[in-house]
Amino acid sequence: MIQSDLDLFDAHPQQLAAHTTLLPGFALAELEPLLDALRPVLRAAPFRHMQTPGGLRMAVALSNCGALGWVSDASGYRYSATDPVSGKPWPALPRVLVELASRAAAQAGFDGFVADACLINHYLPGTRLSLHQDRDEQDYAHPIVSISLGLPAVFLFGGLQRSDRTRRIPLNHGDVLVWGGEDRLRFHGVLPIKPGVHPRMGERRINLTLRKAG
Ligand code: SIN
Ligand code: FE2
């Protein structure tokens, strides 16, 4: 079923755990400015498939904007001010994204969140993201703010141990998910994206995670 944008504007925040809030459709009001800001970022720093430290090609294609960007290669996972392949600094974090993330974080109870890094993930139908923790940031007091665009996804939201059972959280175009506090290090991942064509975004899902990494 395709939910209309108007239905999504009516949706209420959903508290999924003590410090985890789903804000359905929260990004839709800023969608066009957000996409306008994303285009030059992705021209300057195109999506690419990074290698895991073990030498495997990641299924998700990545890019970054902000003072720091998350990278993975033979040297490991880390944040870097430059793209290790091009040697260039990442494109600046667009103001529209920083402000949207601050507002979403505040709605979820995290006041004063100012992102300095935005990881941009690109999923094609069939692409999945295996369970992991976001633990390369300096200070876990800051939440993660995730914006989903395009094809729907099923987000797996687990516990603090990899073996803990996971909940399945549908993430749709425009949804914003915020997790922090005691939920900050929960394992999470994304089930394979189902085939489809999103009316605005085409045959893809794009997820932006805004972080205070440094
Ligand atoms: C991530 O964990 O980096 C991305 C999550 C998502 O794509 O929803
Ligand atoms: Fe993550």
> For position 99, what pLDDT does the model report?
98
pLDDT of residue 11: 79
Residue showing tokens 């969140």: 113
- 207 in contact with ligand 1, CB cutoff 6 A: yes
Strand ranges, E, within 86-136: 117-123, 129-132
Q: How far apart are CA 86 and CA 53, in angstroms?
A: 19
* Substitution candidate for ligand 1 out of 171, 209, 210 with most atoms within 8 A of CB: 209
Which ligand lies nearest the alpha carbon of 120?
Answer: 1
Residues 6+ apart with CB under 8 A from 6: none
> Chain-centre distance of CA 6, in angstroms?
23
**Fold for domain 17-211?**
Jelly Rolls (2.60.120)
CA 155/CA 92 separation, integer angstroms: 28
Query: 158 C-alpha vs ligand 2 centroid, how far in Å?
Result: 12
pLDDT score of 7: 56
Check: CB of residue 193 under 8 Å from CB of residue 156: no
Residue 127 Cβ < 6 Å to ligand 1:
no
Token pair 């839709």 is at which residue? 28
Of the bound ligands, which one is closest to the alpha carbon of residue 208? 1
Residue 96 DSSP code: H
Tokens 């005691």 sit on residue: 182
How buried is residue 32: exposed, middle or buried, by Cβ count under 10 Å (0-12/13-18/19+)?
exposed
Helix 31-44 and helix 95-107, axial crossing angle in degrees, nearest 10: 130
Does ligand 1 lie within 6 Å of residue 188's CB atom? yes
Query: Does ligand 1 lie within 6 Å of residue 187's CB atom?
Result: no
Using the mean position of ligand 2's atoms as its centre, give its distance from the Cα of residue 185 in Å: 9
pLDDT at residue 1, rounded to an integer: 47
> Cα(19)–Cα(142) distance, rounded to whole angstroms?
11
Residue 172: name the closest of 206, 203, 140 by CA.
206
Q: Measuring from atom 7 of ligand 1, which residue has the nearest CA?
A: 207
**What's the confidence (pLDDT) of residue 98?**
98
User: Of all protein residues, whose CA lies closest to atom 8 belonging to ligand 1?
Assistant: 207
Mutate to test the pocket of ligand 1, among 58, 60, 146 (most ligand atoms within 8 A of CB): 146
- Confidence at residue 29, expressed as pLDDT on a 0 to 100 scale: 95
Report which of 152, 171, 145 is spatially closest to residue 20, judged by C-alpha positions: 145
Residue in the block written with tokens 């507002």: 103
The verdict on the CB of residue 64 being under 6 Å from ligand 1 is no
* Tens place of pLDDT per residue across the chain (214 aa): 455 555 555 579 999 999 999 999 999 999 999 999 999 999 999 999 999 999 999 999 999 999 999 999 999 999 999 999 999 999 999 999 999 999 999 999 999 999 999 999 999 999 999 999 999 999 999 999 999 999 999 999 999 999 999 999 999 999 999 999 999 999 999 999 999 999 999 999 999 999 999 9
- How many beta carbons lie within 10 A of that of residue 43, not counting itself? 9
Residue spans per domain, the chain: 17-211
Q: Decide: residue 75, CB within 10 A, 0-12 exposed, 13-18 middle, 19+ buried.
A: exposed
